[in-house]
Amino acid sequence: MFSLTSALVFASIFTAGFATSPAQLVAELRDAPTAAARVGLLNTDDQFVFDFFNSPNKTVGAGGEIVLASSATFPAVIGNGAAMAIGILEPCGMNTPHTHPRATEIQFNVNGTLQTGMITENGARFIMTELKPGQMTIFPQGSVHFQFNDGCSPALFVSGFNSEDPGALQIAQRFLGLPADIIAATLGDIGVEEVIGVADIVPDNAALGTDACLQRCGLKRTAQDTKQAQPRVSGNAFPSGVSASAWATASGW
Ligand SMILES: *[C@@H]1O[C@H](CO)[C@@H](O)[C@H](O)[C@H]1NC(C)=O
Ligand SMILES: *[C@@H]1O[C@H](CO)[C@@H](O)[C@H](O)[C@H]1NC(C)=O
Protein backbone atom coordinates (compact mmCIF):
# COMPACT_ATOMS: atom_id res chain seq x y z
CA MET A 1 0.00 0.00 0.00
CA PHE A 2 1.22 3.50 -0.82
CA SER A 3 1.52 5.07 2.63
CA LEU A 4 2.21 8.68 3.54
CA THR A 5 5.66 7.66 4.83
CA SER A 6 6.67 6.03 1.58
CA ALA A 7 5.35 9.07 -0.28
CA LEU A 8 7.58 11.34 1.87
CA VAL A 9 10.61 9.06 1.44
CA PHE A 10 10.00 9.00 -2.28
CA ALA A 11 9.59 12.78 -2.37
CA SER A 12 12.88 13.39 -0.53
CA ILE A 13 14.83 10.95 -2.75
CA PHE A 14 13.26 12.60 -5.76
CA THR A 15 14.12 16.20 -4.76
CA ALA A 16 17.65 15.30 -3.59
CA GLY A 17 18.55 14.63 -7.19
CA PHE A 18 17.88 18.25 -8.15
CA ALA A 19 19.99 21.37 -7.68
CA THR A 20 19.01 23.15 -4.47
CA SER A 21 16.87 26.24 -4.89
CA PRO A 22 18.43 29.62 -3.97
CA ALA A 23 16.43 29.70 -0.73
CA GLN A 24 17.54 26.15 0.19
CA LEU A 25 21.18 27.03 -0.50
CA VAL A 26 20.94 30.12 1.73
CA ALA A 27 19.38 27.98 4.50
CA GLU A 28 22.13 25.36 4.18
CA LEU A 29 24.89 28.00 4.21
CA ARG A 30 23.39 29.57 7.35
CA ASP A 31 23.18 26.14 8.99
CA ALA A 32 26.72 25.07 8.10
CA PRO A 33 28.85 24.31 11.18
CA THR A 34 32.02 25.92 9.76
CA ALA A 35 33.21 28.34 7.10
CA ALA A 36 35.00 25.43 5.44
CA ALA A 37 31.68 23.61 5.20
CA ARG A 38 30.18 26.67 3.52
CA VAL A 39 32.93 26.62 0.89
CA GLY A 40 32.03 22.97 0.31
CA LEU A 41 28.40 23.89 -0.26
CA LEU A 42 29.41 26.44 -2.91
CA ASN A 43 30.79 23.78 -5.20
CA THR A 44 31.31 25.70 -8.45
CA ASP A 45 33.79 28.55 -8.87
CA ASP A 46 31.21 30.72 -10.61
CA GLN A 47 29.31 30.91 -7.31
CA PHE A 48 32.15 33.22 -6.22
CA VAL A 49 31.50 35.67 -9.07
CA PHE A 50 28.79 38.33 -9.03
CA ASP A 51 28.21 40.24 -12.27
CA PHE A 52 26.92 43.71 -11.39
CA PHE A 53 26.41 44.64 -15.04
CA ASN A 54 24.23 41.58 -15.75
CA SER A 55 22.21 41.00 -12.60
CA PRO A 56 18.43 40.58 -12.69
CA ASN A 57 18.30 41.81 -9.08
CA LYS A 58 18.28 45.59 -9.17
CA THR A 59 16.29 48.58 -8.00
CA VAL A 60 15.38 50.64 -11.04
CA GLY A 61 13.89 54.08 -11.47
CA ALA A 62 13.93 56.88 -14.04
CA GLY A 63 17.18 58.20 -12.51
CA GLY A 64 19.20 54.99 -12.68
CA GLU A 65 19.67 51.69 -10.91
CA ILE A 66 21.17 50.19 -7.77
CA VAL A 67 22.47 46.61 -7.89
CA LEU A 68 23.20 44.82 -4.60
CA ALA A 69 25.30 41.71 -4.07
CA SER A 70 24.12 40.47 -0.67
CA SER A 71 23.17 37.20 1.06
CA ALA A 72 20.02 36.99 -1.08
CA THR A 73 21.68 37.56 -4.45
CA PHE A 74 25.28 36.43 -3.84
CA PRO A 75 25.26 33.63 -1.23
CA ALA A 76 29.08 33.49 -1.10
CA VAL A 77 28.94 36.47 1.30
CA ILE A 78 27.04 34.45 3.90
CA GLY A 79 29.05 34.20 7.10
CA ASN A 80 31.44 36.94 5.96
CA GLY A 81 29.59 40.06 7.13
CA ALA A 82 30.06 41.98 3.89
CA ALA A 83 28.05 43.06 0.87
CA MET A 84 28.58 45.40 -2.07
CA ALA A 85 26.41 47.55 -4.28
CA ILE A 86 26.92 49.62 -7.37
CA GLY A 87 24.87 52.59 -8.41
CA ILE A 88 24.56 53.74 -11.99
CA LEU A 89 23.03 57.19 -11.84
CA GLU A 90 21.77 58.62 -15.10
CA PRO A 91 22.36 62.33 -15.83
CA CYS A 92 20.74 64.20 -12.88
CA GLY A 93 19.83 60.84 -11.30
CA MET A 94 19.53 60.51 -7.52
CA ASN A 95 19.67 57.64 -5.07
CA THR A 96 16.90 59.10 -2.91
CA PRO A 97 17.35 59.66 0.85
CA HIS A 98 17.54 56.33 2.68
CA THR A 99 19.17 54.50 5.56
CA HIS A 100 20.73 51.05 5.92
CA PRO A 101 19.37 49.46 9.09
CA ARG A 102 22.19 46.93 9.49
CA ALA A 103 25.33 48.38 7.93
CA THR A 104 27.76 51.22 7.60
CA GLU A 105 28.47 52.06 3.97
CA ILE A 106 31.75 53.18 2.44
CA GLN A 107 31.19 54.61 -1.00
CA PHE A 108 33.77 54.97 -3.76
CA ASN A 109 33.07 57.24 -6.71
CA VAL A 110 34.35 55.71 -9.96
CA ASN A 111 33.56 58.48 -12.42
CA GLY A 112 31.46 61.59 -12.78
CA THR A 113 31.02 63.95 -9.83
CA LEU A 114 28.61 62.89 -7.10
CA GLN A 115 27.02 65.00 -4.43
CA THR A 116 26.22 63.15 -1.23
CA GLY A 117 24.40 64.39 1.84
CA MET A 118 23.98 62.83 5.27
CA ILE A 119 22.51 63.30 8.73
CA THR A 120 23.67 60.66 11.18
CA GLU A 121 21.29 61.31 14.09
CA ASN A 122 19.37 63.95 16.06
CA GLY A 123 21.80 66.64 17.19
CA ALA A 124 24.38 65.98 14.46
CA ARG A 125 24.97 68.57 11.75
CA PHE A 126 24.19 67.98 8.07
CA ILE A 127 27.20 66.84 6.02
CA MET A 128 27.43 67.41 2.28
CA THR A 129 30.24 66.14 0.06
CA GLU A 130 31.18 66.48 -3.58
CA LEU A 131 33.02 63.34 -4.66
CA LYS A 132 35.30 63.45 -7.66
CA PRO A 133 36.45 60.25 -9.39
CA GLY A 134 38.66 58.26 -7.02
CA GLN A 135 37.21 59.76 -3.84
CA MET A 136 35.14 58.03 -1.18
CA THR A 137 32.93 58.84 1.76
CA ILE A 138 31.33 56.97 4.66
CA PHE A 139 27.70 56.70 5.75
CA PRO A 140 27.50 55.35 9.31
CA GLN A 141 24.91 52.65 10.03
CA GLY A 142 21.44 54.18 10.35
CA SER A 143 22.41 57.54 8.83
CA VAL A 144 19.99 59.21 6.41
CA HIS A 145 21.88 59.85 3.18
CA PHE A 146 21.53 60.42 -0.54
CA GLN A 147 23.73 60.37 -3.65
CA PHE A 148 23.03 62.74 -6.51
CA ASN A 149 24.66 62.85 -9.94
CA ASP A 150 24.64 66.59 -10.66
CA GLY A 151 26.27 66.01 -14.06
CA CYS A 152 25.01 65.41 -17.58
CA SER A 153 26.69 61.98 -18.08
CA PRO A 154 25.90 58.73 -16.26
CA ALA A 155 28.00 58.16 -13.13
CA LEU A 156 29.08 54.93 -11.46
CA PHE A 157 29.76 54.40 -7.75
CA VAL A 158 30.64 51.36 -5.67
CA SER A 159 29.57 50.83 -2.06
CA GLY A 160 30.84 48.33 0.49
CA PHE A 161 28.77 47.31 3.53
CA ASN A 162 29.77 45.60 6.78
CA SER A 163 26.75 43.31 6.72
CA GLU A 164 25.83 40.56 4.29
CA ASP A 165 22.24 41.88 4.50
CA PRO A 166 22.54 45.67 4.90
CA GLY A 167 18.90 46.41 4.07
CA ALA A 168 17.68 49.77 2.82
CA LEU A 169 14.87 52.00 4.03
CA GLN A 170 13.79 54.75 1.63
CA ILE A 171 12.75 57.71 3.80
CA ALA A 172 9.98 59.18 1.58
CA GLN A 173 8.25 55.91 0.70
CA ARG A 174 8.37 54.58 4.26
CA PHE A 175 7.45 57.83 6.03
CA LEU A 176 4.53 58.43 3.66
CA GLY A 177 3.45 54.83 4.26
CA LEU A 178 2.51 55.61 7.85
CA PRO A 179 -1.17 56.43 8.62
CA ALA A 180 -2.09 59.67 6.86
CA ASP A 181 -3.42 61.40 9.99
CA ILE A 182 -0.19 60.59 11.87
CA ILE A 183 1.85 62.09 9.03
CA ALA A 184 -0.44 65.13 8.87
CA ALA A 185 0.07 65.78 12.60
CA THR A 186 3.82 65.11 12.39
CA LEU A 187 4.10 67.76 9.67
CA GLY A 188 2.41 70.46 11.75
CA ASP A 189 -1.20 69.61 10.98
CA ILE A 190 -1.24 69.78 7.18
CA GLY A 191 -4.30 68.20 5.58
CA VAL A 192 -4.73 64.47 5.14
CA GLU A 193 -5.56 65.17 1.46
CA GLU A 194 -2.17 66.83 1.03
CA VAL A 195 -0.49 63.82 2.63
CA ILE A 196 -2.27 61.46 0.23
CA GLY A 197 -1.40 63.73 -2.70
CA VAL A 198 2.29 63.60 -1.87
CA ALA A 199 2.27 59.87 -1.04
CA ASP A 200 0.82 59.16 -4.48
CA ILE A 201 3.62 60.85 -6.42
CA VAL A 202 6.82 59.69 -4.69
CA PRO A 203 8.99 58.43 -7.56
CA ASP A 204 10.73 55.09 -7.57
CA ASN A 205 14.42 54.95 -6.75
CA ALA A 206 16.71 55.87 -8.40
CA ALA A 207 14.74 59.03 -9.19
CA LEU A 208 15.28 62.14 -11.25
CA GLY A 209 17.10 64.83 -9.29
CA THR A 210 16.89 68.59 -9.12
CA ASP A 211 15.24 70.99 -11.58
CA ALA A 212 18.49 72.97 -11.79
CA CYS A 213 20.38 69.91 -13.06
CA LEU A 214 17.65 68.86 -15.49
CA GLN A 215 17.55 72.37 -16.98
CA ARG A 216 21.35 72.59 -17.26
CA CYS A 217 21.46 69.21 -19.03
CA GLY A 218 18.48 69.99 -21.28
CA LEU A 219 16.41 67.16 -19.79
CA LYS A 220 12.70 66.95 -18.99
CA ARG A 221 11.22 65.52 -15.80
CA THR A 222 9.39 62.58 -17.35
CA ALA A 223 6.63 60.65 -15.57
CA GLN A 224 8.14 58.32 -12.97
CA ASP A 225 6.78 55.04 -11.64
CA THR A 226 5.57 54.90 -8.03
CA LYS A 227 5.71 51.14 -7.50
CA GLN A 228 7.99 51.34 -4.46
CA ALA A 229 5.28 53.00 -2.33
CA GLN A 230 4.61 51.35 1.03
CA PRO A 231 1.81 48.78 0.55
CA ARG A 232 -1.44 49.76 2.24
CA VAL A 233 -2.89 47.31 4.75
CA SER A 234 -5.68 47.93 7.22
CA GLY A 235 -3.46 49.83 9.67
CA ASN A 236 -2.21 52.44 7.20
CA ALA A 237 -5.15 52.54 4.78
CA PHE A 238 -6.12 55.98 3.54
CA PRO A 239 -9.29 57.14 5.34
CA SER A 240 -12.39 56.36 3.30
CA GLY A 241 -14.01 59.28 1.54
CA VAL A 242 -10.80 61.33 1.53
CA SER A 243 -8.92 61.69 -1.69
CA ALA A 244 -6.12 63.75 -3.02
CA SER A 245 -7.85 64.47 -6.30
CA ALA A 246 -9.62 67.75 -5.41
CA TRP A 247 -6.47 69.14 -3.84
CA ALA A 248 -4.30 67.79 -6.67
CA THR A 249 -6.51 69.41 -9.30
CA ALA A 250 -6.59 72.70 -7.41
CA SER A 251 -2.79 72.79 -7.04
CA GLY A 252 -2.15 71.80 -10.63
CA TRP A 253 -0.82 68.25 -10.01
C1 LIG B 1 16.76 37.78 -8.42
O2 LIG B 1 16.28 37.63 -9.74
C3 LIG B 1 15.81 36.34 -10.04
C4 LIG B 1 15.47 36.30 -11.52
O5 LIG B 1 14.53 37.29 -11.84
C6 LIG B 1 14.61 36.00 -9.15
O7 LIG B 1 14.17 34.69 -9.41
C8 LIG B 1 15.04 36.12 -7.69
O9 LIG B 1 13.92 35.93 -6.85
C10 LIG B 1 15.66 37.49 -7.41
N11 LIG B 1 16.21 37.50 -6.05
C12 LIG B 1 15.93 38.47 -5.20
C13 LIG B 1 16.56 38.34 -3.86
O14 LIG B 1 15.22 39.42 -5.48
C1 LIG C 1 31.01 55.81 -15.80
O2 LIG C 1 31.02 54.41 -15.98
C3 LIG C 1 29.79 53.87 -16.44
C4 LIG C 1 29.90 52.37 -16.47
O5 LIG C 1 30.97 51.97 -17.25
C6 LIG C 1 29.44 54.45 -17.79
O7 LIG C 1 28.18 53.98 -18.20
C8 LIG C 1 29.42 55.97 -17.71
O9 LIG C 1 29.21 56.53 -18.97
C10 LIG C 1 30.70 56.51 -17.11
N11 LIG C 1 30.56 57.94 -16.88
C12 LIG C 1 31.52 58.82 -17.15
C13 LIG C 1 31.22 60.24 -16.81
O14 LIG C 1 32.60 58.50 -17.60
- Contact yes or no for 114/132 (Cβ under 8 A): no
Q: Is residue 197 part of a domain?
A: yes
Q: Are residues 68 and 159 both part of a single domain? A: yes
- Give residue 138's domain range: 52-168
What is the 246 CA–ligand 1 centroid distance (Å)?
Answer: 40
Q: Are residues 132 and 221 both part of a single domain? A: no
Q: Whose CA is nearest to atom 7 of ligand 2?
A: 154
What is the 62 CA–ligand 2 centroid distance (Å)?
Answer: 17
Average pLDDT over residues 232-253: 74
Q: Are residues 231 and 132 both part of a single domain? A: no
Q: Are residues 153 and 207 both part of a single domain? A: no
115: domain CATH number? 2.60.120.10
Q: Are residues 147 and 112 both part of a single domain? A: yes
**Which atom in ligand 1 lies closest to the alpha carbon of residue 56?**
2
Q: Is residue 193 part of a domain?
A: yes
Q: Is residue 3 part of a domain?
A: no
pTM of the prediction? 0.88
Q: Is residue 216 part of a domain?
A: yes
Say if ligand 2 is within 6 A of residue 112 CB: yes
pLDDT tens, residue by residue, 15-42: 444 567 999 999 999 999 999 999 999 9
pLDDT(12) > 60: no
Closest listed residue to residue 78, CA positions, set 125, 104, 54, 42 = 42
Q: Is residue 12 part of a domain?
A: yes
Q: Are residues 216 and 132 both part of a single domain? A: no
Query: Of the residues 114, 137, 168, which one is the last residue of a structural domain?
Result: 168
Say if ligand 2 is within 6 A of residue 155 CB: yes
Q: Are residues 81 and 136 both part of a single domain? A: yes
Q: Are residues 94 and 162 both part of a single domain? A: yes
Q: Which of 4-8, 103-107, 148-152 has the lowest mean pLDDT?
A: 4-8
Query: Of the residues 168, 197, 225, which one is the last residue of a structural domain?
Result: 168
Q: Are residues 162 and 189 both part of a single domain? A: no
Q: Are residues 69 and 141 both part of a single domain? A: yes
Mutate to test the pocket of ligand 2, among 153, 157, 158, 217 (most ligand atoms within 8 A of CB): 153
- 243 pLDDT band, cuts 50/70/90, is confident
Query: Of the residues 130, 152, 168, which one is the last residue of a structural domain?
Result: 168
Mutate to test the pocket of ligand 1, among 54, 57, 66 (most ligand atoms within 8 A of CB): 57
Q: Are residues 108 and 198 both part of a single domain? A: no
What is the 212 CA–ligand 1 centroid distance (Å)?
Answer: 36
Q: Is residue 2 part of a domain?
A: no
**Which atom in ligand 1 lies closest to the alpha carbon of residue 72?**
13
Q: Are residues 57 and 159 both part of a single domain? A: yes
- Per-residue model confidence (pLDDT) at position 17: 42
Q: Is residue 1 part of a domain?
A: no
Q: Whose CA is nearest to atom 3 of ligand 2?
A: 156
Average pLDDT over residues 84-90: 98
Number of domains observed in the structure of the chain: 3
